[in-house]
Amino acid sequence: MYGFSTTLRIAFADAIAKVTEALKREGFGVLTDIDVQATLKSKLNLDMRPYRILGACNPPFAHRAILAEPDIGLLLPCNVLVREEENGTVTVAFMDPEAVLDLVGKPGMKEIAMEVKAKLVRARDSLSA
């Protein structure tokens, strides 16, 4: 599996705010916010439910990873998907850094991935609180 998720029963905009705050508490900032719904509407005139990809970055961990492997930027930032389901619930899915960074196979990368995953899991778990 390359990710882990939770389901929220709140409005989509509230979910975005709650996820952003949960990430912030764990030291992550949102570097990118890709609004797939708006992009598909403007480029292809397609309608779909809200679907956003947040690119989360924890600068100290990103720095450690870049020092260990300069090309690691190909796998950063940690993506967090927020999408509205047909039934109105909101799925929040987190990229699993252990699964992704395991591809690198460099010394020290596994430890970084485990620490980042622990922070993302805490962020996910706090969403249900």
The whole-number pLDDT of residue 126 equals 97
Homologous superfamily, domain 3-127: TT1751-like domain (3.30.310.70)
> Mean per-residue pLDDT for 4-32?
98
Q: How does the average pLDDT of the chain come out, rounded? A: 95
Per-residue pLDDT tens for 53-99?
Answer: 999 999 999 999 999 999 999 999 999 999 999 999 999 999 999 99
Q: Enter the pTM of the model.
A: 0.94
Query: What is the C-alpha separation between 15 and 82, in angstroms, rounded?
Result: 8
Query: Domain ranges in the chain?
Result: 3-127
CB neighbourhood size of 106 (10 A) = 14
pLDDT of residue 107: 82
For the stretch 89-108, pLDDT in tens is: 999 999 999 998 888 888 88
Question: What 8-state DSSP symbol labels residue 77?
Answer: S
Spatial neighbors of 66 by CB under 8 A, at least 6 apart, are: 72, 73
